[in-house]
Structure 1
Amino acid sequence: MKCFLTILLFALVSCATPSSSEDSIKISIDVHELPSIGLAISTTDYDIQLVNFDSNKHGEYVIHNMDAAYITLHNGFSERKRIYAKQGDHIHLTFDGKSMKESLEITGDHPRITEYLSRQKTTPYNRNIYSLQFPEFESVLKEKIIENSRLLDSCENTLKNESEKFIKLERARIKYSFAPALLNYPKVHGGEDLEKIRDDYYTTIKNWIEEDKDYLNLNEYRTFVALACATLASQEGKNTTTYYEKILEQMYYLDQNFKQEDVKQGFISLWANEYVQNNGIKQIDELNKFTQEKLTDNKLLSRYEQIYDSWARIAPGNKAIDFHAQDSTGKEFSLKDFKNQYVCLYIWQNVYPCMVEFSHLKKLIPLLEEKNIQWINLSIEPKPDEWKKAIRNQDIQIGKHFFLKNEKEFLKNYHYNSETMYQFILITPDGKIVESHLPKASSGKLEKYLTEQI
């Protein structure tokens, strides 16, 4: 259930917008019956987006900034289908939402590759290999890669007719799906001190890294290189404790040791964008300076600056973004209806982590009255009837309950994080942002923050 909630909530803020550009991959979908849970599409393990269907049961999804992509279709929890597409492709899907497996028809794809991907099943390694000495461990890991490449070997001549690049990417995908095992060896092995194999271990990790711009589209490659750079950077024994410090170490190692400039540019852009997108721009002067200096590709630099500026837009002191919502009777409300008092917005959904917060929030009622803070609960529950049912619960009676309308742009502008499922925003009486991401009530820090700041 948590997986689907993450998919759904992420979709609220990240749905792709249609485009006919030849530098993108376009997917259009027509269904006979809408999927009961929803159709989601992913190109990585963490970027999963829900497709919106119109009244004609038609949906569109566009992938930007990728030359080629492995695309996974998720029909709820039960069905998955993997396809491959390259820049300029327009793929059309038709199926019955009840059963994608039985009814899916695809046009515009690469049918031989789609067939291959449906047959390709990964045979994992046995964890007993960690008991081996390191040289033998690496040999067994390479044998496992060869074993998992046999289907590709047998289909290579046929697949070449559709895309030689796919064969290159698929070999790398298989290799790098096993590569993280190398990084886990010191943690799992237990029978050999890392100092005894130190030189061989770090040299082996370096040798497994191939600098190839084409591989930047592979989730498996990006994951391994990020972890490998962090591991190799740690050789000096620096005491990096925060995620921010580790990202900086990765970047510095990459800059000093990688030779291919386009690969360096790609990873610096990727890491900087992901960090800022997920964590904001507080206390990132060093990361920002490094990124601004090293990103010489104007397109990549522009993309980074857009993400940075979107966070600067909601920095403390800026004008708050208005909301449009309605109460259970359908009456419309916006931020302008609550002038001359502090306003605290609670973005929530009818799920357990959000409901837990209410039990802690109710303890703040005396403080809210003392500080003249108007508490407003903005629900993003997908089903309005479920929201109306939930707000009858006496345990969540604090402030005013509204149902957020046109929530996608609002959530996107406020950098709502679907993984936490909730967000607290404090606004001044004259409509300025005090803080867009307050600590959660259950941490005990929200009460302290409100007491000290107001």
Structure 2
Amino acid sequence: MLKKIILISGLFTLLNSCETEIPKSKTVISGTITNPNNALLLIAGNDYFRDTIQVDESGNFKDTLDILPGSYLLSYGKLFWRTYLQNGYDLEIVFDSNNFRNTLSYKGEGGVENNYLFQKISKQREAMTKRQEAMKMRNDSSLLLLNDLKEAMHQFLSSYPALPPAFKGLEKRSITYGYIADLHRLHSKDTLGVISGLTSKLNALEENMDFNSGMDYLFSNRYRRMIEDTYREKAQISAKTSNLAEDIAFLKEISNIKNDTIRNSLAFNHAKYGITYTKDLNTFYSLFLKSSTNPIHNEDIKASYEILKKVAKGAPSPGFEDYENHQGGTTSLKDLAGSYLFIDVWATWCGPCRKEIPYLKELETKYHDKNIKFVSISIDRQKDRDKWKQMIKDENLGGVQLLADKDWESSFVQNYLIKGIPRFIILDPQGNIIDYNAPVPSSGKLESIFDEFNL
């Protein structure tokens, strides 16, 4: 499981500063950027890990990390690329920000591995056309072409004899996982089953596949996706046969995974956002704890659970004060007391939010003379206030149109632990919560809910 990185010695801004010897169990990342244009190098990994490395005015940077092996996304300004990291590396990264692709190079421990991986991207780009051709043909030649692409990647791997044996083993298996993923994609397109041997080849490969390899899970994004997809499919089947919600069924399925790395990661990635949408908070949280043995992740999800307990059905809703009202003046939640409230948390930049607008307007029209108010709270930034006003005009939006005071950081948003929009909330006339995660207007489920209120 990818743990949150603990900085051992802080951020270094000068390469020639005095420092103690770094134990081999840590990871050292350093380097020089020609034509530096940003003060921060960002690093992101699986399981919502984020960190920053300071870059000085000369383009030098250095940091010491305690990290689990895996592929990390590095970004500098508008540049993005992947780097493989593991403890024990003393990796130097050099590039010119004005000519990144032709100047990026790695030196030191981990340098050979990452130079290989960076060059591999070019090989994969070259293979993209042939892969698309294989998917388009959908015949026996498709299998031959995909096999040729797999063998070409193995040959490319062999052209780097200096790669450590352990890394080579991981990479060989990762190539195979990519091949299996391609066969799955081809299989889904071969609806008539005309490609001879495709099903048997897939079955044979998967029968010999280890579904409990923590190292492969950390190393290979293809393997990671295959494992998650496998348990998503199991959860879908379980949900239907056991009459369970799919989010609950998924936690039940993964709780039986033997490998801690895989089980913890799947549980955390599922719960990080899933806990904010579940209809059965206590069962969800209990099953998460049954699956997760990672103390850092457990603390994170516990914090979410404690917030969400306060917005359970029947609890008084968190309030908001003096939000700008499009009609003029300001409005607080207490000003809307006495009516049922259907609250829409949205933003002008949110595509899914905009898709719900026609359905929301239909509901407003249907219930315009009933004791229910439709309240839309935009979390657009204050600097985008004019965009918010213009969209209300362009879309002829009705109801009560409000602009939150601090976008995502608004206390109302934080108190409901809203991590994604649109989010719909239903309150009773006393301001108590009926549903903190109500169905979307396009679902067709709201009319039956509203009709139960005897509006």
Please tell me the TM-score bracket, short chain as reference.
Answer: 0.5 to 0.7
CA–CA separation in structure 2 for the residues paired with 1:243 and 1:205: 28
Partner of 2:73: 72
3-state DSSP of counterpart to 1:211: coil
Whether contact under 8 Å (2:255, 2:290) holds in the other structure is: no
CA–CA separation in structure 1 for the residues paired with 2:394 and 2:234: 53
CA–CA separation in structure 1 for the residues paired with 2:205 and 2:264: 26
Bigger Cα displacement from structure 2, 435-444 vs 348-357 = 348-357
CA–CA separation in structure 2 for the residues paired with 1:97 and 1:326: 43
Cα offset, 1:151, TM superposition = 3.4
Q: Kindly provide the CA deviation profile for residues 277-318 of structure 1, in whole angstroms up to 9, marking residues without a partner as x.
A: 336332488766655445456566555555555544432223
Whether contact under 8 Å (1:323, 1:404) holds in the other structure is: no
Change (3 A) 1:284 1:367: same
Structure 1 length normalisation: TM-score? 0.65
Cα offset, 1:171, TM superposition = 3.6
CA–CA separation in structure 2 for the residues paired with 1:109 and 1:339: 64
Q: How does 1:8-407 map to 2 (within 5 A)?
A: 20=7, 43=45, 67-73=68-74, 80-86=80-86, 111-121=111-121, 122=124, 123-124=127-128, 125=131, 126-127=134-135, 131-132=139-140, 137=143, 144-157=149-162, 159-160=163-164, 167-184=168-185, 186-190=187-191, 192=193, 202-209=203-210, 211-217=212-218, 218-228=220-230, 244=245, 248=249, 252=253, 255=256, 261=258, 263=259, 265-276=260-271, 277-278=273-274, 280-283=277-280, 291-293=288-290, 295=292, 305-323=302-320, 326-327=323-324, 334-351=332-349, 352-363=351-362, 364=364, 367=367, 370-373=370-373, 375-380=375-380, 383-384=383-384, 385-393=386-394, 395-407=396-408
CA–CA separation in structure 2 for the residues paired with 1:356 and 1:185: 32
Partner of 2:22: none
Change (3 A) 1:131 1:422: same
3-state DSSP of counterpart to 2:313: coil
CA–CA separation in structure 2 for the residues paired with 1:199 and 1:354: 44
Q: Which has the higher contact order (CA 8 A, sep 6+)?
A: 1
Cα offset, 1:221, TM superposition = 1.3
Partner of 1:423: 423
CA–CA separation in structure 2 for the residues paired with 1:335 and 1:96: 53
Q: Kindly provide the CA deviation profile for residues 256-275 of structure 1, in whole angstroms up to 9, marking residues without a partner as x.
A: xx6xx3x2x33333334344
3-state DSSP of counterpart to 1:148: helix
CA radius of gyration, larger in = 2
3-state DSSP of counterpart to 1:208: coil
3-state DSSP of counterpart to 1:389: helix
Whether contact under 8 Å (1:92, 1:106) holds in the other structure is: yes
Whether contact under 8 Å (1:34, 1:96) holds in the other structure is: no
CA–CA separation in structure 2 for the residues paired with 1:92 and 1:337: 59
CA–CA separation in structure 2 for the residues paired with 1:108 and 1:428: 63
CA–CA separation in structure 1 for the residues paired with 2:81 and 2:43: 10
RMSD (CA atoms): 5.7
Letter in 2 for 1:177: G
CA–CA separation in structure 2 for the residues paired with 1:216 and 1:85: 14
Cα offset, 1:32, TM superposition = 6.4
3-state DSSP of counterpart to 1:316: coil
Letter in 2 for 1:281: T
Structure 2 length normalisation: TM-score? 0.65
Cα offset, 1:388, TM superposition = 3.5
CA–CA separation in structure 2 for the residues paired with 1:285 and 1:104: 49
Change (3 A) 1:412 1:49: farther
